Chains A and B, each alone.
Chain A
Amino acid sequence: MLNLNDLHASVGEGDEARPILKGLSLEVPAGEVHAIMGPNGAGKSTLSYVLTGREGYEVTSGTATLNGENILEMEPEARAAAGLFLSFQYPVEIPGVPVMTFVRTAMNAQRKLRGEEEISAPDFIKKAREVGGQLNLNAEMLKRPVNVGFSGGEKKRLEIFQMMMLEPRFAILDETDSGLDIDALKTVAAGVNALRAPDRGMLVITHYQRLLDHIKPDRVHVLSAGRIVKSGGPELALRLEEEGYDGVIGEAA
């Protein structure tokens, strides 16, 4: 599924460029959910932006493939059409563009890039109602401009709404738990768990173990200074919670 091999990447341009990822290797097979944990500044968000192709994040060496396809050469929209989805740590407000218009435009753009037929308006509305219902997002909220006037928790639920609508093959969830109270966390986790499937992979980036009580990972990786320094089962997350990053990272070094 997702294969990262000795990935090096820097942020910024010219003299300002700072290397952030320094030889990151990772494999997430289809059907699995992996967690990436790490202290602030380890490169967690950089990894999510490098994989989705954000401007200003430059891969200097190494490879990244999704189902064998080199994604690093693709435009962001082509990566999305290939099935890569990012739930943003800080979802962006888009004034003037209603949620329904936005998601439908995105869905049809992806379908077009893949050479598929557009979704019909009734089918889209039916699906949006179902998914919205699961996430406690009512019809009125889906008519509002994307993220404008949404609370932190509503923005995160809207990210999961988009994910469930677009049904990506591989999802990256960047600090999806931040800004969520416990009820919202459960709702979001239920949405993510509902998407677990044998042909879908997920990478859950988080600072705290709390989210992983609700989204059980198959593997946990510790990211520090731009590399995976330790990998293990779900019990590794619990150890991090008890011993802190210093303890676990110190042991690896």
Chain B
Amino acid sequence: MATDLKSIIPNANAAELELVARYAMRGEDPRRERAFSAFAASGLPHRRMEAWRWSDFRAALPALEAPEGAGAVDPFSALSGPLIEISASQYKLPSELPAGMRLIERADADVFAPAEKMPLGALTAALAGRKGAPASLVIEVTEPVAEPLRIVARSDRSEANIARITVLVRPGAHLDLIESHLGGAGFSSYLLDLTLQAGASATRTLYQIGAGDEAQAITANVEAAAEARFTQTALAFGAKIARIETRLTHQETGSHAVLNAAYLAAKGRHVDLTSHIRHGAEACTTRQLTKGAVLAGGRGIFQGKFMVPRKVGQRTDAAMQHHALLLEYGAEVFAKPELEIYADDVECAHGNTCGALDGDQLFYLRQRGIPETEAKALLTQAFVTEALESAPDLAAEILRAAAEAWLLGK
């Protein structure tokens, strides 16, 4: 390794040195270089960076080490449709694809435009794809596809699982994307680039779970053209540290986005839901509902930002809600809702609450004979699953069942 590369990240920890070494193994590629430089400017994001103050990856990831256990079970395994499996940074591709869906493998890495704003996205763009394997994987959807495309990221005790997928939905086409992020690697980092062209629509359903010795980063950059429709629904259980970060740009008039999430954090689990929505065109709408429930020793983070520029963001209609339940003494939730509005003809609402279960409701259920644990589970489930209803029916049902199983301690 060249000495200048070795010192590219000042005071690098063992994990960062390993990431630099992995980058050095890549062939020369200006796009990778730009992405890696963007990452190296900060190294693993840490608490002294405003956007990462509550999610310190550098502290949580001192070295790249294989975790004790394999990844979790996929709750969507019974669903039909094409499947892409990602394990130890290797892709296993489907043998056939439904009509209207095409898979393109490219030797060159794709550019990652918001690299400077998304350091873990940049890292993933720089490292994704092994030597000899395609550098980038593009899924092109040219017509409405009924079967969902499933992406399962699950390793079996590997040090890292780093992958990038690009999805392009052509005008008028539709895709249901279902992603399972199941851990099994010391550091899992996934990057999705999703482009919705005019009148295209997509749903993205995410299930994230990780062990207490794993770090996970799930980063997405979504661009919506005129009249595009995008609905994202996530259920996240966290890991030692886990962040689901979504950056969405309304690029042309009349696009509509829904970004919902439910998080459930037990002891020793950290879950971070961060989003940045830019209303870069007139008359676009965003609806965001995030609901969480946290047990003692668990930590939930919500950071949401709506950015409405002055000249282009007129007639924006956007609403951001985050509501969390602290189920036990010692549970932690940090929230930072931000509305940055420069346009004058907009409707932007936000609400943010944090509290305990309602004592009146709990007593009402127990008076009817429902034991305390079950009553709490029922109330918490009713509270959080509101945010899961935006997923396609079958997927929503699976997510609801997963939330219920967690709440009942199964």
Q: A interface vs B, CB < 8 Å?
A: 52-55, 75-77, 79-81, 85-86, 88, 91-97, 102-103, 105-107, 109-110, 113, 145, 162, 166
Contacts and interface: CB of A to CB of B under 8 A. Distances in A.
Contact of A96 (B360, B371, B375, B386): B386
24 contacts: A53-B366, A55-B363, A77-B371, A88-B367, A91-B364, A92-B360, A94-B361, A94-B364, A94-B365, A96-B381, A96-B382, A96-B383, A96-B386, A97-B378, A102-B365, A103-B368, A106-B368, A106-B369, A107-B369, A109-B370, A109-B374, A110-B368, A166-B368, A166-B369
The interface centre, meaning the residue of A75, A79, A80 with most chain B CB atoms within 10 A of its CB, is: A80
Contact of B382 (A53, A77, A80, A95): A95
B399 to A, nearest CB: 15
A86 B366 contact: no
Interface in B61-117: none
Contacts of B358: 92
Nearest to A103: B368
Nearest to B375: A77
B336 to A, nearest CB: 26
B369 A80 contact: yes
Contacts of A145: 382
A77 B383 contact: no
A145 B364 CA distance: 14
B289 to A, nearest CB: 13
B370 A106 contact: yes
Given A92-B360, A92-B361, A109-B374, A80 B383 contact: no
Interface of B: 358-361, 363-372, 374-375, 378-379, 381-383, 385-386
A94 B366 contact: no
Q: Which 7 A-B pairs have the closest CB atoms?
A: A96-B382, A80-B369, A110-B369, A106-B368, A76-B366, A92-B364, A109-B369
Contacts of A77: 366-367, 369-372, 375
A83 B25 CA distance: 72
Nearest to B359: A55
B13 to A, nearest CB: 44
Given A92-B360, A94-B361, A52 B367 contact: yes
B366 A75 contact: yes
Given A55-B359, A88-B364, A94 B369 contact: no
Q: Which of A79, A102, A113 has the most CB of B within 10 A?
A: A102
A105 B368 CA distance: 9
A77 B360 CA distance: 14
A75 B367 CA distance: 9
A220 B320 CA distance: 55
Contacts of B379: 94, 97
Contacts of B367: 52-54, 76-77, 79-80, 85-86, 88
Nearest to B368: A106
Contacts of B359: 55
A92 to B, nearest CB: 4
Contacts of A75: 366, 371-372
Contacts of B366: 53, 75-77, 80
A53 B368 CA distance: 12
Contact of A109 (B363, B364, B371, B386): B371
Given A80-B368, A102-B365, A166-B369, 5 more contacts: A53-B367, A86-B367, A92-B364, A97-B378, A106-B369
A102 B369 contact: no
A2 to B, nearest CB: 16
Contacts of B372: 75, 77
A97 B364 CA distance: 13
A94 to B, nearest CB: 6
Taking each of A76, A79, A92, A113, which has the highest tally of chain B beta carbons within 10 Å of its own beta carbon?
A76
A105 B361 contact: no
Contacts of A97: 378-379, 382
A164 to B, nearest CB: 13
Contacts of A166: 368-369
Contacts of B386: 96
Contact of A76 (B363, B374, B382): B363
Given A75-B372, A80-B368, A54 B383 contact: no
Contacts of B368: 80, 102-103, 106, 109-110, 162, 166
A113 B365 contact: no
Contacts of B361: 92-94
A145 to B, nearest CB: 8
Contacts of A103: 368
A113 B369 contact: yes
B156 to A, nearest CB: 38
Nearest to B382: A96
B369 A96 contact: no
B385 to A, nearest CB: 7
Contacts of B381: 96
Contacts of B364: 88, 91-92, 94
A102 B381 CA distance: 13
B363 A105 contact: no
Q: Which of B366, B369, B372, B375 has the most CB of A within 10 A?
A: B369
Nearest to A48: B367
